[in-house]
């Protein structure tokens, strides 16, 4: 957000625009510092009209000069702190005599005092010891010859001088100094070692500090915390020596540890900030530095503590004014000033950028008058683009790497452009915050105002004894029930709650509860019914229009409607449509509602666990509402809708699940005429509601609930039925949704059949519908690409934005960036985008050869898993909980050879089998041993065979008794070492005596067998009558073998079994095994 921070003394690094308010805080603190309780206090000499903070520093009671110039330079600071009273002569001179200073030199007060003593009431100059620590008071010295303030200034390299705060004494006989504190006679022999010019920007080595928080820009005040003890001591030392200069370099890797010392040059950026200490103070264990950035600087050479240890071994080290930094074990660096690249103030690009900035500040000035100081300062810098870019950058809360880019950018136009982009982001975020805050405030004030008015009116009504405004609310409910026929119980509840609402004596929250209750009670359609329409012919037309096939289902529904026509009602009927997903159960319920002229309401039962979701919560709970049944009646607006309870088999059937028990009352014709919802707490008659339930698997519905339903099975579709549905329903509907004519995108017949056989083998049509929709989506893309290729110029115009011409009204254009875009209003959703006309010659044909380009590669590349199954593999048929019929392969193998094994028989079953299926496998193993002993006694296979039985697709849970004869056939196939017919599938439960028992889902299993390439089905004879009810289309091409005993199964799968060969099969293996078991002599 825009950094318009609240003024605070703790101005941290990167606090944005709040730093501009620092000047006033500094003045206030300085005024307090001049009090009698602070003997070393400093009186402010800042002009209150200045727009920049006062530049000063304070450490250990030492005060440095103030700079009253609005824009102090690095040379000013260096001249004042390196040589406040004298300027050294050029390189090679043997003496260090001071030059004459001009009368208006900032280094001297008008009375001849040093500028460090210009404040009123200060104590006399202080003599310093050899470490620069204040010592005895010494008398004031007369002014020496002054130097021209505007002349060039240079500083020689000194080994000790009072100007640099180094060691000196009263005699002043240190070599290379300019005398002690009282003048001196140093020989200056070392003065010729290095000459540092302030005007070229070359300085002696400075303390180098690493910074991880945020890079600092020139001209800004900031504060940082120093935690490293070595760096803390170094900062205190440079301040005591009156050399408060250091350099900051930002770390280029955010994952590096936060440290004050730079241990590796590669860890920091080359461009940093030359900084000046304004003030230091203790902050717990840390040292807080309040500083100011003077200028950009480039890192020329860095000496780390590790490198200092190596340099210490060299006797003849280079000496420089800040050589004492070596004694502290910190990093120091030699830097050079980074000057901006030359620029032209008359450049059109620069003028445009400055106009943008001016417009932004005018926007802030108009929207946020309290930030006048920011806009004033910004406008004042329009003639200095370099400083303006740094000022704008300091207002941004952008990431550190973005600020570092500004710091490293020496091209003024480029820097200003980057700063503007960051400023735009901040301004937009700030506007968003203001708008959000204003909106919340207005809403809160409005709510408070309304509450006050309500309480005021309520108090007035109590005094005059008249009705409150709640009477108007009650009259609204009276209007609702005029055409209703409430029961006596419901009318009594209505009058009771209405009286509470009209009295107004209750608490407002209680009145709200009564109002909400009356709203729900009067939303129930008491005594409102739709007129039933028992037209069998019309019902047949509706069913045939919406559904293909399903003859048995349609006949049952027409029978149901016919009975209603004869009796004049269809009350008390609960239909349950059971079948696989995607077979049209929900759409069948809609067709029934349309045929009977009843309102259609759907309740999805998936995941409902709590009884309160069905029967509602009591009004004692906060936020309570009625249950799904009452909500459905409110939605239907009639008391006799068709209420579809979708996926009732997905109800929570655990012991704690009360939703299923709630439906026992709802779906029972003897009880649902007095249904009581916990919230309404009044009897509601549901006997006129036609309940229709859907389920995928009937076995998941509790028995007591299933007994109350009239079950209608909705079987899966054959491939021919799927083809008809796709061509007559799915393709036209998909083409209509895509706004494409069926002739525009033609799907070949072979492509449709390939979709059915190679992509979608489920019983329903859900996945097939998705693939058809995907084909039309891909086709739309191809058509649009052809259109754009024919009209490349039009596509180019929509892709590329036209350049905007800059005119004199720059400000208004920029302000528009922050205004809401008016998108216009359309009368309907269809008016938003007009459909594109497609030329007649653009047509697509989806053939089998290009089908994979639309829907991807084939999913089912083979019809069977095994073309020639090995011994021990049998194909069973299963009926899944989703209602689909599938092939179930059962595999059995020997884990050890009979002759080479231990001879310990056994069986292990895997494949995520549930309890019933495990029992079937165990029964099959016992019967298989009995069968072999009885029919092939000399085949001793099961006496020593260690068998592993597995059902593939181990991630899918499997249960049920249907695989009994499949398990048995797999084990006997392994014992006979003969393969089963690859196209034969079987289903049926087996008993220990070998009898084959009935199972369910025969039609779905037949469809599943056909999908997996099987043409022969062995099934229990007990369900042979079901086979007669299955349509010829389903049975087409299939051979059915009904069986009663397993002997019949054996003859069907092993018609050429040779008894002698089977008896001799394992003789060699058992001979080796018997030989192993014989005791050694």
Question: One of 585, 929, 958, 1005 is an active-site residue; which one?
Answer: 1005
CA distance 1064 to 706: 54
Per DSSP, 807 falls in state -
CA end-to-end distance (rounded Å), the chain: 98
DSSP secondary structure, 98-154, as one string: PPPBPTT-TTB-TTS-BGGG-STTPPPPEEE-TTS-EEEE-PPPPP--B--TTS--E
- Which structure tokens are listed for 763? 């019983």
Q: State residue 986 phi and psi, 5-degree precision.
A: -145, 155
CA distance 859 to 848: 14
Question: One of 162, 962, 966, 970 is an active-site residue; which one?
Answer: 962
Please, which residues bridge with residue 691 across strands? 574, 643
What lies within 8 Å, CB to CB, of 608 at 6+ separation is 614, 628, 651, 652, 659
CA distance 179 to 173: 7
CA distance 774 to 772: 5
DSSP secondary structure, 305-350, as one string: HHHHHHHTT-SSPPP-TTGGGGGGT--EEEEEE-PPPP--TT-HHH
Tell me, yes or no, if 780 is annotated catalytic.
no
User: Percent helix, strand, coil in the chain (nearest 5)?
Assistant: 40, 15, 45
- Which structure tokens are listed for 645? 């309870």
What lies within 8 Å, CB to CB, of 555 at 6+ separation is none
- Which structure tokens are listed for 685? 């008659």
Q: What angle do CA 983, 989, 992 make, to 5 degrees?
A: 120
Asked if 1034 contacts 1003 with a C-beta cutoff of 8 angstroms, the reply is yes
Please, which residues bridge with residue 873 across strands? 891
**Strand 996-997 vs strand 989-990: parallel, antiparallel, or unpaired?**
antiparallel
CA distance 208 to 335: 10
- Which structure tokens are listed for 981? 């017919």
Contacts for 16-20: CB closer than 8 Å, 24+ residues apart: 16/394, 16/395, 16/396, 16/397, 17/371, 17/374, 17/394, 17/395, 19/220, 19/221, 19/222, 19/394, 20/373, 20/374, 20/377
Q: Which residue's entry shows tokens 């058992």?
A: 1070
By three-state DSSP, how is residue 488 classified?
A: helix
CA distance 568 to 729: 34
Tell me, yes or no, if 93 is annotated catalytic.
no
By annotation, the residues acting in catalysis are: 962, 1005
């Amino acid at each position: 957000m825009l950094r318009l921070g609240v003024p605070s003394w703790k101005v941290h690094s990167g606090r944005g625009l709040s730093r501009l308010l620092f000047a006033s805080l500094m003045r206030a603190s300085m005024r307090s510092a001049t009090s009698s309780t602070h003997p070393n206090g400093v009186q402010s000499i800042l002009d209150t009209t200045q727009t920049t903070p006062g530049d000063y520093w304070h450490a250990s009671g030492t005060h440095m000069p103030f700079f009253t110039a609005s824009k102090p330079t690095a040379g000013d600071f260096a001249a004042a702190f390196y040589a406040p009273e004298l300027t050294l002569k050029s390189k090679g001179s043997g003496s260090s005599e001071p030059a004459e200073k001009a009368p208006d030199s900032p280094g001297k007060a008008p009375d001849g005092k040093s500028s460090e003593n210009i404040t009123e009431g200060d104590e006399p100059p202080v003599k310093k010891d050899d470490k620069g620590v204040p010592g005895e008071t010494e008398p004031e010295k007369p002014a020496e010859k002054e130097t021209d303030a505007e002349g060039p200034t240079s500083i020689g390299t000194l080994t000790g001088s009072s100007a640099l705060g180094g060691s000196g004494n009263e005699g002043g006989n240190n070599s290379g100094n300019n005398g002690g504190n009282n003048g001196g006679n140093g020989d200056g022999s070392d003065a010729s070692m290095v000459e540092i010019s302030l005007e070229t920007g070359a300085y002696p080595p400075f303390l180098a500090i690493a910074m991880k928080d945020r890079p600092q820009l020139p001209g800004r005040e900031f504060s940082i915390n120093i935690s490293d003890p070595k760096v803390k001591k170094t900062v205190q030392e440079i301040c005591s020596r009156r050399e408060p200069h250091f350099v900051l370099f930002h770390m280029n890797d955010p994952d590096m540890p936060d440290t004050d010392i730079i241990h590796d040059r590669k860890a920091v950026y080359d461009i940093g900030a030359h900084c000046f200490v304004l003030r230091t103070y203790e902050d717990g264990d840390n040292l807080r530095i309040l500083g100011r950035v003077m200028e950009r600087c480039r890192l020329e050479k860095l000496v780390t503590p590790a490198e200092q240890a190596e340099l210490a071994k060299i006797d003849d080290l280079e000496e420089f004014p800040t050589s004492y930094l070596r004694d502290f074990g910190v990093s120091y660096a030699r830097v050079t000033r980074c000057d901006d690249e030359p620029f032209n103030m008359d450049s059109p690009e620069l003028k445009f950028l400055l106009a943008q900035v001016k417009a932004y500040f005018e926007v802030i000035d108009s929207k946020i008058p309290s930030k006048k100081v920011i806009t004033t300062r910004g406008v004042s810098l329009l003639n200095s683009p370099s400083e303006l870019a740094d000022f704008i950058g300091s207002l941004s809360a952008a990431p550190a790497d973005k600020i570092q880019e500004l710091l490293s950018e020496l091209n003024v136009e480029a820097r200003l452009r980057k700063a503007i982009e960051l400023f735009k982001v901040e301004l937009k975020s700030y506007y968003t915050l203001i708008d959000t805050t204003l909106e919340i405030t207005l809403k809160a004030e409005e709510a408070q105002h309304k509450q006050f008015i309500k309480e005021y009116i309520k108090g007035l009504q109590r005094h005059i004894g008249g009705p409150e405004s709640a009477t108007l609310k009650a009259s609204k409910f009276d209007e609702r029930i005029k055409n209703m026929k409430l029961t006596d119980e419901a009318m009594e509840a209505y009058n009771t709650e209405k009286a509470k609402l009209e009295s107004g004596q209750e608490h407002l929250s209680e009145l709200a509860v009564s109002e909400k209750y009356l709203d729900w009670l009067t939303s129930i359609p008491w005594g409102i019914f739709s007129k039933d329409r028992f037209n069998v012919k019309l019902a047949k037309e509706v069913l045939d229009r919406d559904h293909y096939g399903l003859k048995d289902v349609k006949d049952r529904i027409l029978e149901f409607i016919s009975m209603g026509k004869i009796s004049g009602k269809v009350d008390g009927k609960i239909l349950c449509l059971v079948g696989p997903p995607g077979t049209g159960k929900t759409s069948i319920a809609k067709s029934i509602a349309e045929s009977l002229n009843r309102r259609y309401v759907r309740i999805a039962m998936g995941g409902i666990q709590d009884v309160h979701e069905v029967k509602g919560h009591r009004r004692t709970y906060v936020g309570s509402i009625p249950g799904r049944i009452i909500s459905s009646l409110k939605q239907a607006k009639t008391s006799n809708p068709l209420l579809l309870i979708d996926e009732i088999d997905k109800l929570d059937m655990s012991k704690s699940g009360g939703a299923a028990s709630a439906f026992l009352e709802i779906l029972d014709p003897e009880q649902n005429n007095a249904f009581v919802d916990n919230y309404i707490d009044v009897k509601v008659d549901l006997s006129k509601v036609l309940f229709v339930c859907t389920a995928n698997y009937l076995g998941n519905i509790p028995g007591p609930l299933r007994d109350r339903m009239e079950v209608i099975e909705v079987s899966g579709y054959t491939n021919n039925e799927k083809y008809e549905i796709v061509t007559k329903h799915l393709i036209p509907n998909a083409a209509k949704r895509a706004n494409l004519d069926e002739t525009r995108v033609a799907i070949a017949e072979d492509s449709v059949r390939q979709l059915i056989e190679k992509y979608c083998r489920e019983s329903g049509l859900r996945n097939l519908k998705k693939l058809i929709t995907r084909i039309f989506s891909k086709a739309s893309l191809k058509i649009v690409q052809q259109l754009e290729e024919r009209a490349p110029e039009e596509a180019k115009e929509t892709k590329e934005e036209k350049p905007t011409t800059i005119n004199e009204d720059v400000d208004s254009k920029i302000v528009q960036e922050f205004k809401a875009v008016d998108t216009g209003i359309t009368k309907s959703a269809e008016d938003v985008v007009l459909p594109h006309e497609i030329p007649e010659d653009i047509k697509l044909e989806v053939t089998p050869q290009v089908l994979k380009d639309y829907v991807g590669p084939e999913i089912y590349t083979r019809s069977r898993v095994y073309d020639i199954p090995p011994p021990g593999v049998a194909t069973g048929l299963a009926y899944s909980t989703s209602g689909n019929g599938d092939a179930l392969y059962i595999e059995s193998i020997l884990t050890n050879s009979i002759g080479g094994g231990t001879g310990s028989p056994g069986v292990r079953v895997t494949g995520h089998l549930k309890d019933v299926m495990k029992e079937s496998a165990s029964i099959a193993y016992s019967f298989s041993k009995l069968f072999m002993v009885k029919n092939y006694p000399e085949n001793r296979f099961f006496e020593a065979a260690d068998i592993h039985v597995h059902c593939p697709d181990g991630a899918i849970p499997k249960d049920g008794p249907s695989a009994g004869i499949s398990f048995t056939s797999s084990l006997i196939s392994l014992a006979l070492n003969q393969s089963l017919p690859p196209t034969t599938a079987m289903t049926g439960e087996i008993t220990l005596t070998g009898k084959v028992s009935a199972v369910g889902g025969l039609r779905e299993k037949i469809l599943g067998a056909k999908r997996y390439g099987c043409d022969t089905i062995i099934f229990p004879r007990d369900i042979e009558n079901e086979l007669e009810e299955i349509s010829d289309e389903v049975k087409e091409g299939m051979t059915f073998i009904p069986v009663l005993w397993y002997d019949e199964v054996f003859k069907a799968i092993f018609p050429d079994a040779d008894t002698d060969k089977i008896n001799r099969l394992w003789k060699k293996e058992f001979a080796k095994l018997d030989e192993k078991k014989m005791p050694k002599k």
